[in-house]
Amino acid sequence: MRPSGRDLSEMRKISIETGVTRHAEGSCLIKVGDTHVLCTATLEERVPPFIKGTGLGWVTAEYGMLPRATNTRMRREAAAGKQGGRTVEIQRLIGRALRAGVDRVALGERQITIDCDVLQADGGTRCASITGGWVALRLAVDKLMKAGSVISDPLTDHVAAVSCGIYAGQPVLDLDYPEDSEAGVDGNFILTGAGHLVEVQMSAEGSVFSRTQMNTLLDLAEKGVGELVAAQKAATR
């Protein structure tokens, strides 16, 4: 029995509310169970120096957690004077994931920055950030297309992410914090709407896993991402 009472292949409740901030070119508040992330997209008519003059666009991301996103207060990273290694790793992951669904030639020489701020954490914050980040990106690109700034749609497919793992010896979909903290195997799966893999992060947290178990977790991930993509479509249609 899962702590939440969910079935092994059952996602947490998914909610995506768009247009939640006034100034950003795209924004949404994504809720996956008790994990809540505010995602905003900022459009700039410039690119980083390393691709300037290439005609290619760029999508990047920043990630952070509010001090009371968890059950005890975390010190703000700004107060420490630098970002932690976990933060840097996650925001690079978000950027890589979202770029997998972008035609950078069609985007043109401009940059879209996705900011993902975790308001409340209960496991799967990076997955919720990628899923919600795509929605914010979609909304920002829609504004570009409406203004006639791009000729063709730069977004080639949906991108979404979900966690899967082995908890109490059973493969489970969409781990919440009680499961994540005790899982024997933990994985994050990033897929496109067409079911193509973008990235898989898997590790044995307490026990090794077999190829068969990995295939089972991938099957669960495909199911979960299918539900997340459906939520993305509903939020942006």
Give CA–CA dist 198/103, Å, rounded. Answer: 15
The full DSSP string for 86-122 is HHHHHHHHHHHHHHTTB-HHHH-S-EEEEEEEEEE-S
pLDDT value of position 161: 98
**Mean pLDDT split into 10-residue runs, the chain, 237 residues:** 95 98 98 98 97 97 96 90 92 98 98 98 98 98 96 97 96 97 95 98 90 97 98 97
CB 199 within 8 A of CB 97: yes
Residue 82: phi, psi to the nearest 5? -160, 160
pLDDT value of position 206: 79
pLDDT value of position 79: 86
Query: What CA–CA distances, in Å, run from 159 to 37, 38, 119, 202, 211?
Result: 16, 17, 22, 19, 25
pLDDT value of position 116: 98
Give CA–CA dist 201/43, Å, rounded. Answer: 29
> pTM (2 decimals)?
0.97
- For residue 20, give the DSSP letter: -
pLDDT value of position 80: 85
Give CA–CA dist 164/9, Å, rounded. Answer: 9
Q: Could you give the 3-state DSSP secondary structure of residue 200? A: strand
The full DSSP string for 205-233 is SSS---HHHHHHHHHHHHHHHHHHHHHHH
Q: Taking the CB of residue 214, how many other CB atoms lie within 10 A of it?
A: 17
pLDDT value of position 119: 98
Q: In the numeric block, which tokens belong to residue 57? A: 């666009």
Residue 173: phi, psi to the nearest 5? -105, 140
Q: Taking the CB of residue 2, how many other CB atoms lie within 10 A of it?
A: 18
Give the helix, strand, coil percentages of the chain, each rounded to 5: 35, 30, 35
pLDDT value of position 91: 97
The burial class, CB within 10 Å (0-12 / 13-18 / 19+), for 194 is: exposed
Give CA–CA dist 175/99, Å, rounded. Answer: 25
CB 118 within 8 A of CB 129: yes
Q: Which helix (H) or strand (E) holds 160?
A: strand 159-167
